[in-house]
Amino acid sequence: MNILRLTVASVGGAKNGHSFDYNLAQDSEAGVFGKIKAAIVNKIEGYKVQAREEQGTEQVLLLSDSMLKDIGLTQTDRYSLKAGLTSLEVLNARREANRGQFDLENR
Tens-place pLDDT, residues 74-102: 888 888 888 888 888 888 888 888 776 65
Query: Is the pLDDT confidence value at 28 over 80?
Result: no
Determine what percent of the chain is predicted with pLDDT higher than 90.
Answer: 16
Q: How far apart are CA 58 and CA 78, in angstroms?
A: 10
For the packed helices 75-83 and 88-105, what is the interaxial angle rounded to 10 degrees? 160
Q: Taking the complete model, does pTM exceed 0.75, yes or no?
A: no
Region 50-54: mean pLDDT is 91
Task: Name which of 11-15, 56-60, 76-80, 90-94 the model is least confident about.
Answer: 11-15
Give the model's pLDDT for residue 33.
85
User: Are 71 and 95 within 8 A, CB to CB?
Assistant: yes
* H-run or E-run covering 72: none
Residue whose C-alpha is closest to residue 95's, from 51, 48, 78, 62: 78
Domain ranges of the chain: 1-51, 63-107
